Amino acid sequence: MSFLRRYLKFEMKIFIGYILIGCLWILFSDKVVSILFSDAEEITRIQTYKGWIYVMTTGILFYFILRHHIRKLRTAEQMAKESDRLKTLFLQNISHEIRTPMNGIMGFTELLKNETLTEAEKNEFLKIISDSSTLLLNIVNEVLDISMIESGTNKVKISEVSLNNLMDEILNYFTHSVGNDVCIKVEYGLSSGNDVIKADETKIRQILHNLISNAIKFVENGHIRFGYKAKENTLEFFVEDTGIGISKESQKHIFERFFKDRPQNTKIYDGVGLGLAISKGLVELLEGKIWLESEPGKGSIFAFAIPYQKVDDKHEDSISYSGEKARTRQSTFNYLTILLVEDDLPNIKYITEILSRQGIKVITAVNGQQAVDLCHDHQEIELVLMDLKMPVMDGYLSAKEIRELRRDIYIVAQTAYVFNEREKTTVAGFNDFLAKPFNVEQLFAVINRFLERQHQ
Ligand code: ADP
C-alpha cells in the first residue's frame, strides 16, 4: 500500500479513484437500492436518478480532494519563491561582504609593487593584506557554519566537559586580545570537581567565543565579565560588557543574519553580522535559548541557557582538552622527511617554504599516484601531507594504497573541503586533519602530534 502511495502520482490516483468508484457504482448500485427500498415503483423512480447521484457525489468528492491538493501546491510554490528570494539576498550579502576585504587585498598588493615605498609603508600595507585575509577566512567559516546549521549537518556531540577548565582556556585565549584599558574576568558557577557536566564542548566554546569577540570589539575601556551559573535544570552562560550598548530598536533584530548595529559617529568595526545568528542557531541545536539585556552607552549582557546534564561518576581524567600549543622543536625536525601531495602551485611553494626553513626535507607529488610511487621508492618518508581532491588519483585512494605499502606511515589530510570531511578522513584511515588555509602554528601542531606519537 505504501508502495502505491509513494509511486502513484496524484493525477493517476484521481483517475484510478474515478474509475473504481464508477465501476463499483455500476456493479452494486442496484443491490444497494433494492436493500434500502422494497417498493418496486419506488425502486424504478430512484433508478432514474442513479446517474445524477453518481455525478453529484463524485463531483463534490473530487472538488474537495482537488482543492486540498492545489492549496498544498500553492503554499509550496510560495515557500519556494520565498526561499529563492532569501537565497539571492544571502548571496548578495555574502558577495558584498567578500568584496570588501578582497578590495583591500587586491588594492594593497598592487600598491606594494611600487618600488619607492619605505619599509614602514610596506609593513603597513602587508598588515592590511594579512588582516583582510583573516577577515575573508572568517567570512567563509561563518557562511559554512550557517549553512551547516540550516542543513542540519551540524550535529550535537556530547562528552564530559570540565566547565571551569573550559572557562580558563577561553580566558587565556582572550587575555591578550583585549586593550590595555579593558579588564576581562571570569566567573565560575560550580566548584572545581563539581564542574564536570555532559555537553557539547565545541559548541559552547564557539558561542562564547562569538559573544566575547563582540564584547572586545565594542568596549574601549571598562570590563568584560563572562562565566556561567548553575541553576536547577539549566546552565546559564553570560558575557557582560561595559561597551557601547545596543538600542531597543536594534535589539529586536540583533540575532538576524547580516544585522549590524552601527550608531552614527562610532568608529569602524569589522564583522559580517553572522556571529549572533550562528550563536542563536547553535544554542537552539543545544535545545536552549539566547537573549540579551542592553542599554546604549552603558553596555550589554548576552546570555544563553542550556539543559544541565550532570555527570554521575566523575572521571576527571577522561576529560579531553583540545587546546593546541605549537612547539617548534628545531632539533627534532632536522632528520624529518615529509611528502607533500598537492596540485596547487602557490600551496606547494607556501608549505615547502615553511617546512624547509625548519630544516625539514620536503618531497613533492602532484597527484595521488605519484605519491604512492614516491612512498614506495623513498622509505625515509615518515609523514605525508595529502591533499584530497587531485587529478589522476584522489587523496582517499592514494592514502589507502600508501597504507597498504607502509603500515606505520603518518598520513595527514589537508583540504579546503571542510564540510563533513574531517569525519570522512578519520574513517578512511588518515591520522590527522588540516583545514586549508592553515597557518604556521597549525601546521607545526600537526607535526608535533606526529612526533609525540613517535616518542610514545
Ligand atoms: P558581527 O560582529 O560579525 O558584525 P554579530 O552577529 O556578532 O556580527 O553581531 C551583530 C551586530 O550586533 C554587531 O554588528 C553589533 O552592531 C551588534 N553587537 C553584537 N554584540 C555587541 C556588543 N557586545 N555590544 C554592542 N553591540 C553589539
CA distances (Å), origin 117, targets 40, 106, 121: 113, 17, 6
Model pLDDT, residue 269: 63
Cell of 29: 448500485
- DSSP per-residue letters across 66-126: HHHHHHHHHHHHHHHHHHHHHHHHHHHHHHHHHHHHHHHHHHHHHHHT-TT--HHHHHHHH
Q: Which residues of the chain have pLDDT under 70?
A: 1-5, 262-269, 312-332, 334, 418-420, 456
Mutation probe of ligand 1 site: the residue of 139, 143, 214 with most atoms within 8 A of C-beta: 214
Closest atom of ligand 1 relative to the 276 alpha carbon:
6
**What residue's CA is closest to ligand 1, atom 23?**
215
| pLDDT at res. 276 | 95
The pLDDT of residue 326 is 37
- Cβ(173)–Cβ(322) below 8 Å: no
Per the omega criterion (within 30 degrees of 0), is the bond before 391 cis?
Answer: no
CA of 215 to the centre of ligand 1 (A): 8
Q: Strand pairing of 337-341 and 383-387?
A: parallel
Question: What's the CA-to-centroid distance between 274 and ligand 1, angstroms?
Answer: 9
Residue nearest ligand 1's atom 9 by CA: 273
pLDDT score at 103:
86
Query: What count of other Cβ atoms lies within 10 Å of the Cβ of residue 85?
Result: 10
* 19 alpha carbon, distance to own chain's centre: 52
Specify the residue with its C-alpha closest to ligand 1, atom 13: 260
Q: Which helix (H) or strand (E) holds 167?
A: helix 163-175
Contacts of 133 (CB under 8 A, 6+ apart): 101, 105
pLDDT at 332: 58
Does residue 434 contact residue 414 with C-beta atoms inside 8 Å? yes
How far does residue 173's CA lie from ligand 1's centre (Å)? 20
Give which of 355, 338, 333, 343 is closest to 438, Cα–Cα. 355
Q: Give the nearest ligand 1 atom to 241 CA.
A: 23
Q: And the C-alpha cell for 279?
A: 550563536
- Residue reference for cell 595521488: 368
Q: What is the pLDDT of residue 131?
A: 85
pLDDT of residue 392: 86
Torsion sign (Cα): 327, 331, 337, 342: positive
Residue 259 CA: nearest ligand 1 atom is: 10
Task: From the CA of 255, give the closest atom in ligand 1.
Answer: 6
pLDDT attached to residue 340: 93
Distance CA 89, CA 371 (A): 43
| Residues in CB range of 33: below 8 A, 6 or more apart | 43, 46, 47, 50
Q: Which protein residue's CA is at the shortest distance from atom 3 of ligand 1? A: 271
147 C-alpha to center of ligand 1: Å? 20
Q: Which of 156, 158, 166, 159 is nearest to 190 (CA)?
A: 166
Pocket-forming residues, ligand 1, beta carbon under 6 Å: 210, 214-215, 218, 241, 243-244, 246, 254, 259-261, 271-277, 300
C-alpha cell at 218: 565594542
